[in-house]
Amino acid sequence: MTRELTLSVPMHCDACENRLRTALGRAEGVIRADADHRRDEVKPPFDPERVSEAQILERIRSAGFEPV
């Protein structure tokens, strides 16, 4: 079963989007890393049996961003 988070993550540019996509794309269980800096939004569909919401949030933080 796939779940999707919708997170508000302040970003400034395309490079921010790319950095988040890369960080989330490397997480086992994240199916796709969708990020939009114009909306300050990240929507990663994921498999909750392989990765937790807390692990996704940690990936975002480790990439230098803070979800609000």
pLDDT in tens, 10-55: 999 999 999 999 999 999 999 998 999 999 999 999 999 999 999 9
Please report whether residue 11 resides in a domain: yes
- List all residues 6 or more positions away from 56 whose beta carbon is below 8 Å from its beta carbon: 5, 24, 27, 30, 44, 46
Please report whether residue 57 resides in a domain: yes
Q: Are 60 and 42 in contact (CB under 8 A)?
A: yes
pLDDT at 40: 96
Could you give the CA distance from residue 22 to residue 16 in angstroms, rounded to a whole number?
10
User: What pTM was computed for the model?
Assistant: 0.90
Please report whether residue 37 resides in a domain: yes
- Supply the CATH number for residue 12's domain: 3.30.70.100
pLDDT at 62: 95
Please report whether residue 52 resides in a domain: yes
pLDDT at 1: 87
Please report whether residue 42 resides in a domain: yes
Q: Number of structural domains, the chain?
A: 1
pLDDT at 54: 96
